[in-house]
């Protein structure tokens, strides 16, 4: 199986007590999808690190 990185982005570093970890991950994922121009329906997996 091949894996490709086609979009990247990041959110600002800092403390965000009003947001949960899943909310922060979703924000970063949507930014990366916007970077590569794909709709969310085409995303098969998301890896953060």
pLDDT tens for residues 1-49? 887 788 888 889 999 999 999 999 889 888 988 998 888 888 787 777 6
Does the predicted model carry a pTM greater than 0.75? no
Among residues 2, 13, 6, the alpha carbon closest in space to that of 34 is found at 6
pLDDT at site 18 = 97
DSSP H or E segment with residue 34:
helix 21-36
| Cβ-contact 35, 8 below 8 angstroms | yes
pLDDT at site 19 = 95
pLDDT at site 8 = 85
């Amino acid at each position: 199986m091949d894996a490709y990185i086609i979009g990247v982005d990041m959110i600002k570093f800092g403390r965000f007590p009003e947001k949960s970890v899943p909310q922060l991950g979703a924000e970063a994922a949507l930014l990366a999808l916007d970077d590569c121009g794909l709709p969310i329906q085409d995303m098969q997996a998301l890896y953060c690190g």
